[in-house]
A and B are shown apart, each in its own frame.
Chain A
């Protein structure tokens, strides 16, 4: 985890966040799409907004990017206040919309030159950046082909490239893997990881728990327009208070083994089951050695042992009372 921020949207460290938003609200008539959402993204941090479809993720990033007039709240990007006419703040953002926002009748290179020019690039600098981002997304050899002739995955990669041209301080990706085949999806995730490793700040929205877990330093869980929890994966899971689960396959006196495990420090509970025992612990990785020692003490032979950590699906279920993909 890099520099963190609190759930109120206030940076946890003294480092100036690249993105800082507070109290965001947007309503369409009676329907409130986003209510009092606030978070911050530190330099080099990948922040995920995780929530089901219709949770308010896209509305939130539309306000973050100055595409949508907010009813209330503040957004600053790279220290500049953001709004629909805030061209300075917008220059610090690279947006990758959920749809393939490219002209299909132009080649990838032509599309990138167009969006690069809109970002103020020109001449040699523009040509170099177009070549570089095409290389990053693995489309250099197809640069002259029309986007309409690309596969779905290639279009998505070109879509990401267009957001990188001007080396933005903050890259905003809105569900970039929706409807993408597994191979292309993996390529996209690797690209995002590579950009994060280079120190780019990333705001990533998704309703795929695995993507949030894989990519994001911190995650904000959003549901029905509200940010219901925020933190690292471990911090979010810790909020559940259920700990990890160690599943032991063994033979011998399983009741004695379970009782011994229940006495171990950091153990939340243990019970014998057919063919083994289940031990609930605060942290699975540190509990393995004491559990193996308890098995030796009670004469139990271990055939297999596995640590099962609660995931964000469990967190979301606990926080909202519904499954992430509802």
Chain B
């Protein structure tokens, strides 16, 4: 009896049992697909077409504020529209009546640039229109930054020339604004993002089942019966790990197929997707093995798997796309296997590269698999075995 054949027999029986089990279908396929559909629908408007109208008020009346308003209202920004309003009061009234948001350059804004306490650009928002609010804040921040830079430049010039800048100097500072549209080479549809993200979330949460099953098999001495045969402890662990990898691949591939055909998602080049699916499944198997090695009871297996799974999912971008996270959090996301996998899937889906572009993410996932799987391969036989 070769040990390879024994490992395949163990993995095959594990798979047969899991595929027969309805909870696997719910947890591994139905759950992720349904959640991906719901989240895709919820986020659909955001990702496919950003529609918002932003009001602009030039209460300052300076050349800089006029240029700012003119640049935005005259630019071609697609479904994002800017309209000029007469006064801050009108802006408040319109926002109350459903205008998404408004940006007000206050009276005396340019004059205040000379003093120690410059005025703020005011943003009026409607709580029911978060996207418009975000756009308005970004516009206001951009204008304020550029005005501040112009103020600094003028003040510096005056210092060098040993002259105090006059009102006219600052008032005449022009802020040429150009609005250009740039792209990243493609978009990731919600289904193409949340399909794999939900699949990964459920896979990580299912790690507790793997540990629990192993503990149960040890408890009723099923493992002893296997180990009493011509099967090495390492072979047993390898067989169990192989079944986890195959389950991961199966689950993610089914979700890939369903989101592609039912939701029109484009996950990207198949070779790249398969490579990432394989690497992610190996990482899941390694971490599941580690949990099984650490867990002493069914309860501790569940707690460990839930804690690790949810932590990776929350931080790794399973619920909020990494691109939408603050920069620092985005970097933290990439420390998790879910973050690495989702970045790879997103890159493949956006068409920003072929398989070569996701090699770093695949390498990171394989590193997770090797490190955690290595520790599990050392510790698990001691847990299941000879003591």
Residues of A within 8 A of B (CB): 62, 65-69, 84-85, 87-88, 90-91, 93-95, 97-103, 105-106, 110, 114-115, 117-120, 162-163, 172
| Nearest CB of B to A34, in Å | 13
A87-B1, A87-B231, A118-B6 as given contacts; A97 in contact with B20, CB under 8 Å: no
Q: How far is the CA of A101 from the CA of B222 in the complex (A)?
A: 4
A118-B229, A120-B230 as given contacts; A84 in contact with B385, CB under 8 Å: yes
Please give, as numbers and ranges, the residues of chain A lying within 8 Å of B222 by CB-CB distance.
101-103
Q: How far is the CA of A92 from the CA of B276 in the complex (A)?
A: 44
| Nearest CB of A to B238, in Å | 14
Residues of B within 8 A of A (CB): 1, 5-6, 9-10, 13, 16-17, 20-21, 219-222, 224-233, 385-387
Q: How far is the CA of A147 from the CA of B221 in the complex (A)?
A: 16
Interface centre among B5, B20, B228 (most CB of A within 10 A): B228
A97-B224, A105-B20, A114-B13 as given contacts; A69 in contact with B386, CB under 8 Å: yes
Q: How far is the CA of A256 from the CA of B226 in the complex (A)?
A: 67
B225 touches A101 (CB 8 A): yes
Please give, as numbers and ranges, the residues of chain A lying within 8 Å of B226 by CB-CB distance.
115, 118
- Total A-B residue contacts, Cβ distance less than 8 Å: 86
A84 touches B233 (CB 8 A): yes
Closest to B222 in A: A101
Q: How far is the CA of A120 from the CA of B13 in the complex (A)?
A: 15
Closest to A162 in B: B225
Q: How far is the CA of A87 from the CA of B1 in the complex (A)?
A: 9
B228 touches A67 (CB 8 A): yes
Closest to B382 in A: A69
A106-B17, A118-B10, A120-B1 as given contacts; A68 in contact with B387, CB under 8 Å: yes
Q: How far is the CA of A118 from the CA of B219 in the complex (A)?
A: 20
| Apart from A87-B232, A90-B230: 16 A-B pairs, beta carbons within 8 A | A68-B386, A69-B387, A84-B233, A85-B233, A87-B230, A88-B230, A90-B228, A99-B220, A99-B221, A101-B221, A101-B225, A102-B222, A106-B13, A118-B226, A118-B229, A119-B229
A84 touches B386 (CB 8 A): yes
Please give, as numbers and ranges, the residues of chain A lying within 8 Å of B232 by CB-CB distance.
85, 87
Please give, as numbers and ranges, the residues of chain A lying within 8 Å of B386 by CB-CB distance.
66-69, 84
B230 touches A65 (CB 8 A): no
A68-B386, A84-B386, A106-B17 as given contacts; A95 in contact with B225, CB under 8 Å: yes
Q: How far is the CA of A118 from the CA of B6 in the complex (A)?
A: 6
B17 touches A118 (CB 8 A): no
Closest to A97 in B: B221
Q: List 29 A-B contacts (CB under 8 A).
A: A67-B224, A67-B227, A67-B228, A68-B386, A68-B387, A69-B387, A84-B227, A84-B233, A84-B386, A87-B1, A87-B231, A88-B230, A90-B229, A91-B1, A91-B230, A95-B228, A99-B219, A101-B220, A101-B221, A101-B225, A103-B13, A103-B17, A103-B222, A106-B16, A110-B16, A114-B13, A115-B229, A118-B229, A172-B228
A105-B17, A120-B1 as given contacts; A65 in contact with B221, CB under 8 Å: no
Please give, as numbers and ranges, the residues of chain A lying within 8 Å of B221 by CB-CB distance.
97-99, 101
| Nearest CB of B to A148, in Å | 12
